Structure 1
């Protein structure tokens, strides 16, 4: 049976770039992997076919030979070296080993790559989170807060190296400084964190007696945080370099302060808008009047209540709300009237209200409209 064209196997065009060849192989490898195709008896052979195609096309020299001579350029299928006749000669090779090479080529950048050791990149310290509660007044004006944060700082005794007396860490003999070890499992070469150095690539033969080789110690830091005006619950403030110290001289993480603004007894907030519910007497709502209301800056504003006001009526005080967090002016405050029904009436007060009720039947338009609609509804149900 003749072999299929390698470009057709990977589902790519003949002029495909190296990146397109890699993407085509990744797609086919996921589709055809035997573990995902237990009910397909041809999956393994198709998977090997895709692997063979990629092994050739990923290599510029092999690809050039294939583009010129096709499958005739290769006597042994996968792998090999240039032969005397201008083609490529070589054995069929072990499939697992071949796939291991392909796996390294695809994912080497993420798994640390191939090759020798060298000093590994320093391990960055963890970021920290601090929940800070403030009042609405502090959110309005902004404030300076001093916070105490338990964290890990660089060890002063060994200057963060983790080694005693200025000695230097040595390359880990197990992983040769890579921080990872490899093991062959079927088709795959699996990389794991080195158990000897825990991924650091180095070991300390003479650890610091203060930090026990970690290069950092636990300590509580006192920090000053600037809380800008306009913050609200959920606002996040980043303090760069104020997180945990890195392991063995690695860079320091960051501290993130999450703001939580406490509920206020007078004001409710929606972004830059403040709401204040103000109770007014039934008489003031009917006849109109003035009411003095507080503002978040500690001041007072006099508001005129229109004659015949109902509960829920709102009046706007411009510029009396919260400041925008990153500029953009000041929000407004909305005054919402709540008409209060009197309680614990005297006999005389009840008598006066009863007389008022008799004289004001035509002064309640909403009541008249409602009960007129109710009568029409009942009449329609009878019909």
Structure 2
């Protein structure tokens, strides 16, 4: 079954701003939360669908990718934020100030809370990569450096100076969250004393400022496949941030490479096909002949110009286009002819063209004759 449109799920227009998105999400979330529909087996699925829609549209980069490519932009799971790389956020913390979908938000409707989160997955990262059209044609292995969060080697990821004690936070009792009552809602927020960790470090690590992690420039080799298109996303599993040790040390996050292809000076691309425009001398267009055309693989192809060719005529070179992703096939190249009018004529050339005109040269130009025949009929109709 195909996915529903995210804007339709939230009930907003495609030009809705962040405030309208947030307002629509809050309203819909309160209406369709599973705790309010205990007898509806589809309630949880609808709520997850709503959460997914807001998760994409509330992020500018992910929203731009969705507007451009639809659901295909996120086929392999997980959206990305902006910048060279970015951590993923918690939607429910942003909107309701609480914990995750299965805890803090449920408590808004009187549901049971959960204990302090013990295992977290490392954050996913995003990296923007720009390549040439030639690289996209051939494929290429590219070395990059990405700032990735790793456990601090001074404190071994604990966030405390060696020998310093780690104590349970007295404000939240180690839960990492505190609750406040607002009307019939119970709101959960990260504990401001311990920053949601549930623990208090008496002497924070001087190297990582008590975070337990530091970002390190990490060299990675990325293989760009032949035929890759602008906007393609490549996922490197397990190459994102390390999971915080103090939160249980779960799986590493993933690294997502977003590929953009630079505009080319000669070729324009449409899928696997290439388009270019070549100038053709007037004499070659009139008499027929050949012109030499560059190809994306660095070679040259001879293009036969039929006698009497006109500007705008499009000709095809089969198999001279882009590589097709995960295939040995290639697209085609389409060449548009642009017939050039001679300029800066010398005396002999001018005399020859004048003689050509006296011999009725203008009368053998089919487009001109057709146009002026129609113009003559137009003027005659005006007179009548």
- Same fold, TM exceeding 0.5? yes
Cross-structure match for 2:373: 372
Cross-structure match for 1:348: 348
Cross-structure match for 2:222: 225
Is 1:202 the equivalent of 2:196? no
3-state SS of 2:178 partner: strand
3-state SS of 2:239 partner: coil
For residue 126 of structure 2, the aligned residue among 125, 129, 152 is 129
- Residues 296, 320 of structure 1: 8 Å contact kept: yes
3-state SS of 2:134 partner: helix
3-state SS of 1:336 partner: strand
- Residues 152, 213 of structure 2: 8 Å contact kept: yes
Q: Distance in 1 between matches of 2:187 and 2:120?
A: 22
3-state SS of 1:150 partner: strand
Q: Distance in 2 between matches of 1:148 and 1:313?
A: 47
Distance 1:218 1:276, change over 3 A: same
- TM-score, normalisation: structure 2: 0.67
3-state SS of 1:20 partner: coil
Q: Distance in 2 between matches of 1:357 and 1:156?
A: 86
Q: Distance in 2 between matches of 1:333 and 1:112?
A: 64
3-state SS of 2:40 partner: helix
- Residues 107, 113 of structure 2: 8 Å contact kept: no
1:41-93: CA deviations, max 9, x gaps?
xxxxxxxxxxxxxxxxxxxxxxxxxxxxxxxxxxxxxxxxxxxxxxxxxxxxx
1:235-289: CA deviations, max 9, x gaps?
1212223233333345433222222222222222111111122211101101101
3-state SS of 2:336 partner: strand
Cross-structure match for 1:192: 189
Q: Distance in 2 between matches of 1:131 and 1:244?
A: 17
Q: Where in structure 2 are the equivalents of 1:85-124 lying within 5 Å?
A: 107-108=105-106, 114=112, 117=115, 119-124=116-121
Q: Which moved more, 1:125-134 or 1:242-251?
A: 242-251
Distance 1:127 1:318, change over 3 A: same
Displaced runs of 4 or more, over 6 A: 109-112
Is 1:19 the equivalent of 2:39? yes
Is 1:238 the equivalent of 2:258? no
> For structure 1, which runs of at least 5 residues remain unmatched after alignment?
1-16, 24-103
3-state SS of 2:379 partner: helix
Distance 1:235 1:106, change over 3 A: closer
Q: Distance in 1 between matches of 2:114 and 2:105?
A: 17
Q: Distance in 2 between matches of 1:276 and 1:105?
A: 57
Q: Which moved more, 1:205-214 or 1:224-233?
A: 205-214
3-state SS of 2:156 partner: coil
Q: Where in structure 2 are the equivalents of 1:171-186 lying within 5 Å?
A: 171-186=168-183
1:279-310: CA deviations, max 9, x gaps?
11101101101122221111221221111111
Q: Distance in 1 between matches of 2:227 and 2:157?
A: 40
- Residues 322, 332 of structure 2: 8 Å contact kept: yes
Q: Distance in 1 between matches of 2:147 and 2:286?
A: 60
- Residues 120, 201 of structure 1: 8 Å contact kept: no
Cross-structure match for 1:358: 358
Q: Which moved more, 1:216-225 or 1:137-146?
A: 216-225
3-state SS of 2:192 partner: coil
**Higher gyration radius (CA):** 1
Cross-structure match for 2:19: none
Count residues in correspondence: 286
Structure 1 residue 21: Cα displacement: 10
Cross-structure match for 1:4: none
